[in-house]
Amino acid sequence: MRWPSAVLALTSLYALFLVIRLPAAVVYAWLEPHRGDITLSDVSGTIWQGQAKSVLLQGHRFEQLSWSTHPFGFARGCIALSVSASLDSSPLRSDLDYCLSGQTTLSNAAVTLPVSQAQKL
Give the pLDDT band of residue 118 (cuts 50, 70, 90): low
pLDDT of residue 119: 66
pLDDT of residue 84: 95
Distances in Å between the Cα of 47 and the Cα atoms of 5, 57, 66, 71 are: 30, 19, 11, 11
Give the pLDDT band of residue 120 (cuts 50, 70, 90): low
Burial class (CB in 10 A: 0-12, 13-18, 19+), 65: buried
> Domain coordinates of the chain in residue numbers?
23-120
pLDDT of residue 33: 75
Amino acid found at 65: L
pLDDT of residue 121: 59
39 or 114: which leads in pLDDT: 39
Q: Would you mind telling me the total number of residues written for the chain in this entry?
A: 121
**Interval 52-85: pLDDT, tens:** 999 998 888 899 999 999 988 888 899 899 999 9
Is residue 32 scored above 90 in pLDDT?
A: no
